[in-house]
């Protein structure tokens, strides 16, 4: 995952383990955790480009900040989570859930909870 670059946040999910840790299925409409030191506020609208494992396509996503980790705690990095919105958000949610199909929630590592 890469930091904000020129006003644009890029999130690269290189593998299934990272997707498991980053995807937030408990958020209505799906959510995505973004490891970052960028200061954000709850409810703030965020725009980012994200990839999925084994895909080079950058998916433009928007969403509201619904989770903030102010500092790293153990294996959980500093960052924030967004609630996905719009057509592209639904696409990302569906693709993430397709890639994670068959993995029990209790077996998932998570950057959030």
The answer to whether the CB of 45 falls within 8 A of the CB of 83 is no
**Does the pLDDT value for residue 42 go beyond 60?**
yes
The region of weakest confidence among 1-5, 41-45, 54-58 is 1-5
**Does the pLDDT value for residue 2 go beyond 60?**
no
**Does the pLDDT value for residue 96 go beyond 90?**
yes
Q: Write down the CATH superfamily of domain 9-106.
A: predicted glycosyltransferase like domains (2.40.10.220)
Q: How far is residue 99's CA from residue 103's CA, in Å, rounded to a whole number?
A: 9
Question: For tokens 């209505």, what's the residue?
Answer: 28
Mean pLDDT for the stretch of residues 31-35: 93
Higher per-residue confidence, 3 vs 100: 100
Instruction: Check residue 3 and give its pLDDT.
Output: 38
Give pTM, 2 decimals. Answer: 0.81
Q: Which helix (H) or strand (E) holds 80?
A: strand 79-85
């Amino acid at each position: 995952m890469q930091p904000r670059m020129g006003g644009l946040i890029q999130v690269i999910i290189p593998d299934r383990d990272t997707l498991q840790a980053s995807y937030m299925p408990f958020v209505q409409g799906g959510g995505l955790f973004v490891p970052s030191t960028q200061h954000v506020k709850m409810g703030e609208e965020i725009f980012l480009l994200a990839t999925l494992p084994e895909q080079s396509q950058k998916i433009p996503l928007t969403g509201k900040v619904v989770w903030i980790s102010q500092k790293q705690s153990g294996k959980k990095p500093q960052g924030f989570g967004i609630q996905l919105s719009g057509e592209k958000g639904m696409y990302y949610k569906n693709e993430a859930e397709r890639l994670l199909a068959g993995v029990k929630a209790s077996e998932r590592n998570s950057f959030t909870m």
